[in-house]
Amino acid sequence: MAHLLREKGFNTFVIVGGLAAWRKAGAPLEPVPKEDLVKLPTFS
């Protein structure tokens, strides 16, 4: 993904360990905004 974006001219980097490492380091997180949530069907 990062490589593909580089090929399109973006200057990309990859965060080592991803979200898990970010969370573990105590770096700031935020709840995903409601409008970004994908609503899937439920039986209730």
- Please report, as ranges, the residues that interact with another protein according to CB under 8 A: 1-6, 8-25, 27-32, 34, 36-38, 40-44
> Coil, strand or helix: which one is 35?
helix
d(CA 31, CA 12) in angstroms, rounded, equals 24
Tokens of 43: 């039986």
